[in-house]
Every structure is written in structure tokens, then in C-alpha cells.
A and B are shown apart, each in its own frame.
Chain A
Amino acid sequence: MKIEEVPQDKGYLIEGRISDLNYAVDKNGHYTSTQSKGWQPKNEAMTMAWEVVYERAEEVRRQVLDGKLSPIAFYMELNVMNVSILASYAGVSGWKVKRHLKMKHFKKLKPELLARYAAVLNITTAELVDAERIRRIEFKHED
């Protein structure tokens, strides 16, 4: 890659704070390093990864509102977690987490366990049990 080919396609990086350092050759064929604001293929891979997350979350939201799955399942998707990651953060065993993903079991959860899940999912307990909030949430990431 030549120095003038170093991509500057603004995407998810924050200007002046975080950039990609690229190594490229100058006119004399010497390697130097220069900052890049981002690169299109990379940005697109990132966008796609988030679209997939939101697609899944949308599906789960439908099932939560139908009363099948619990809000934990929804926020788990939004936090890009899976059962094993959520289980290890919450300090609850995997099979229990799986149960708590169902509305039936979620309803019987004790307040302290709810609080633990809420903390891991970066929301308050009140927000966790608020079905209206789930209906309202809009999926977006800055482009």
C-alpha cells in the first residue's frame, strides 16, 4: 500500500481520539506510518455485524411482547451476549439463565436476582421489567 492509498473513509472511529495506524510506503519505497480515519470494507463489516444483532433483537422483542420470552432475552441480544457470557457475568449457572429467558420463569424471579441481571445488562431493575420500554426501544448505531 502506498501512502496516498491509505484509506480515509470515515466510519465508526472517533476523529482526534481513535484512529487506525497504517503502515505504507512513501515515494522512495520507505515504510512509514500514518493515521487512517477508517476503511470502507471494515465499516461495512461492522455495519453488517450490528444489523445482524438488531435483526435478532427484533425477533426476540416480538416473542417478549407475545409473552413467550423474558426481557432478559431481549437485553441479552442488545448487549451482544449469549447465554454463557451472560451466565458468567451474572454469576448464575447456564441452565438457570436459560430458564430465566422464558417469561414463565422470569415472572417468579426474586428482586435481588433481577437486580443482578439488570446491572449486568446496564439498566435499572425498573427498566428491566418495563415491557413498554422494550416496545419503544429503537435500534441505532451511529453511521
Chain B
Amino acid sequence: MKIDFQHQQSAHCENGVTSNLLRYYGINLSEPMVFGIGSGYFFSHMPFYKLNGMAVTSFRVWPGLIFKRVTHRLGISVKRYKFSNPVKAMQELDNLLEKGIPVGMLVGVYQLPYFPKEYRFHFNAHNITVFGKEGDRYLVSDPVMEHLETLTHEELRKVRFAMGTYPPSGRMYCITGIPDHIDIKPAIVQGIRKTAKDMLTIPIPMFGIDGVRFLAKRMRRWPARLGEKAAILNLGQVIRMLEEIGTGGAGFRFIYAAFLQESAEILDQPWLNDLSREMTTIGDQWREFAVMAARCFKNRDKGLTSYDQLADILLDIADREEKVFKQLRKVSLT
């Protein structure tokens, strides 16, 4: 069985899966639109939550939220699954494919055979769409790949039940119903407001704008607290999270800028264009941060890393993002 599914590459996996699934049901939303409506933009730095034994720094919301929010805000009904039994998980997938339903799912990249070997860390929040099965091979639309891929039953089972931080546990999701009329304008406003609210008001210092400042503060103390070597590893981890395959902190800022630009036209509110430009500048600053950090890796034996300087960039970024979201929070339909 094979579903007529159109694969389009995207910068970030969950945006891509959501956008591809929606397109299959006749709803054309660009990747930035999905990201914006789904309030994908976020920041968190969580010292207690570890990946490779180091704090997790994330530039987006928790996996699964983008899909959930976009469909909810557009009035689309969905069904989500989670399994403890791999056999059941594969059976349920087969049942859905049999009915001609493309299925989005969460997988780990560690055993994903078509990924470059170097990228295969134990990272469990990757999204793909499975839309058919030919013999033993599942047809896979992976949004970060340029073309379609396939996975055998065994390979797919393995990646769906990867282990480590945040195991995917066979999570999958599909669209079950589309309303007759879809109005994206209120959805855009809701999406922006939610992002602005989360970035500005969560009263825990690890999240949102405060999270950026929190990271800056901790970063300054890394060399003294952890020693030069562990400090540079932590910095490397931040950069890898910042610019991981298909995703990326700076990348997300540019996607958001693209979203604001598109929204300015759809809502007929030109002031959003100014904020889009500001967001582009912020994205460039994140890139600058990454370039500087990378220079530190190269000179790591010489101990020239200036964590203070890096932290200062972060503080500057935090101030700018704060200004943007304070304005965005006031967005309305009129």
C-alpha cells in the first residue's frame, strides 16, 4: 500500500512533519506558519535534565507540542498513541497505513540508518512521517532529508523504541478530521500571544527570556566550577543544541522572522515587518555567538575562552528578545 504523499524538506523535523501531514489533507501552510501558529519558539536551560551527562539547553518547545497546538488552533482533530509493547506499536501503525492514513511519529536518531554516522548520538526527539509499506519496507518522509527514505520493519521498530533521555516509546500521531472552514488569522494571533507569554512570564528562571540570562550567568561560572575542560564541553553541548541537524537556535529565530513577515501580510499589520527585521538581527546575533564559541573550541588548549564575553552576547540577545516579545504580546486581530 502506498499513499500519494508529497514530501517537502524543512529546517526542523516537527514543523516539517506537521506541514507535510496538513498538506496531504489539503491545508497548505508553510514551515514558518506551522512553527509560528504552533508556538514552537522557546528557550529553556535545564541543569537537572541531562543529555550526555550535561544540562539540556533547548531552543524550542517540548517535542509534540507544535503538532498539538497547530491542529488544536485550526480545529483539526487528531489521535495520538503511545505504546509499551513494540509489537502492538507496529501493528497499530500497519492498521492505520492499511486505511490510507499517513502517520507522524517520534523516533531516536541513534539507529537511524540513513543519517550520517556522526550525527547519530542518542537523541530521541526526531520526527518522521511513515506513509506506506512495500513488502517489508516502510516508506518514510523524513523532513530533514532531501528525498524519501525507506526503513525495514526491524529498523523502524528499533528507532521507535530507542532508549536514553526521553525515550520515544513508539509515540505516533495522525489527523482524523478536518473542519469545513479553516481560518488561520485567529490561530496566528493565538500562536504569537502564547509564545510571547511563555517567553516573558514563566516565573521559573530556566525558561523563556530569563532562561537565556540564566544560561549566561551559569556560563560565567563554568570554568571556575567545572574546570576548563568540562566548561568547553558544556559550551560544545550548547552549540550542538543550538545548531543540531535540521534544527537550531539561530535557525529558529530566522524561521520566526519569516513567520512574522508572512503574518504581517495575512493579518494586514505592517508593524510586524519591523519585528521580523529585528528578529533577523537577533538570529544573526545567535550565529555570532556560535562563531565565537567555535573559535573557543579550536583554541581550547590555550585556555583563551572568554566565557564572560559569550555571556555578554547572551545578555544582549535576551534584552532584544524581551523587547520584541513585549510588543508581540499586544498583537490582536484588528
Hey, which bits of chain A sit against chain B, CB under 8 A? 1, 12-14, 16-25, 29-31, 33, 35, 39-42, 44-50, 52, 80-82, 84-85, 88-89, 141-142
CB of B147 within 8 Å of the partner chain: yes
A17 contacts which chain B residues (CB < 8 A)? 114, 145-147
Contacts of B269-320 to chain A: CB distance below 8 A: 276-277, 280, 283-284, 287, 290-291, 293-294, 297-298, 300
Question: Which of the residues A12, A13, A23 comes within 8 Å of B11, measured between beta carbons?
Answer: A23
- Nearest Cβ distance between residue A92 and chain B, in whole angstroms? 12
- CB atoms of B122 and A80 under 8 A apart: yes
CB of B236 within 8 Å of the partner chain: yes
B115 contacts which chain A residues (CB < 8 A)? 18
- CB atoms of A49 and B251 under 8 A apart: no
B287 contacts which chain A residues (CB < 8 A)? 1
| A-side interface mostly | mixed
Contacts of B219-268 to chain A: CB distance below 8 A: 232-233, 236, 239-240, 243, 245-246, 248, 250-251, 254-255, 257-258, 261-262
CB of B10 within 8 Å of the partner chain: yes
- CB atoms of A46 and B118 under 8 A apart: yes
CB of B25 within 8 Å of the partner chain: no
CB of B321 within 8 Å of the partner chain: no
Hey, which bits of chain B sit against chain A, CB under 8 A? 9-11, 31-32, 52-53, 110, 114-119, 121-122, 144-147, 163-164, 167, 232-233, 236, 239-240, 243, 245-246, 248, 250-251, 254-255, 257-258, 261-262, 276-277, 280, 283-284, 287, 290-291, 293-294, 297-298, 300
B294 contacts which chain A residues (CB < 8 A)? 40-42, 44-45
Alpha-carbon distance A49/B122, docked complex (angstroms): 13
- CB atoms of A25 and B280 under 8 A apart: yes
Contacts A21-B9, A23-B255, A49-B236 given; does A33 touch B146 at CB 8 Å = no
24 A-B Cβ contacts within 8 A?
A1-B254, A13-B245, A16-B146, A17-B114, A17-B145, A18-B116, A19-B9, A20-B246, A21-B11, A22-B251, A23-B254, A23-B255, A31-B257, A39-B243, A42-B239, A42-B294, A44-B298, A45-B240, A45-B243, A46-B240, A80-B110, A82-B53, A85-B163, A142-B118
Chain A residue with Cβ nearest B280:
A25
- CB atoms of A81 and B122 under 8 A apart: yes
B297 contacts which chain A residues (CB < 8 A)? 44-45, 47-48
- CB atoms of A45 and B146 under 8 A apart: no
B258 contacts which chain A residues (CB < 8 A)? 23, 31, 33
- Nearest Cβ distance between residue B305 and chain A, in whole angstroms? 12
- Nearest Cβ distance between residue A107 and chain B, in whole angstroms? 27
- CB atoms of B240 and A14 under 8 A apart: no
A19 contacts which chain B residues (CB < 8 A)? 9, 146
Contacts A31-B258, A44-B294, A85-B164 given; does A20 touch B11 at CB 8 Å = yes
Alpha-carbon distance A45/B241, docked complex (angstroms): 10
- CB atoms of B116 and A33 under 8 A apart: no
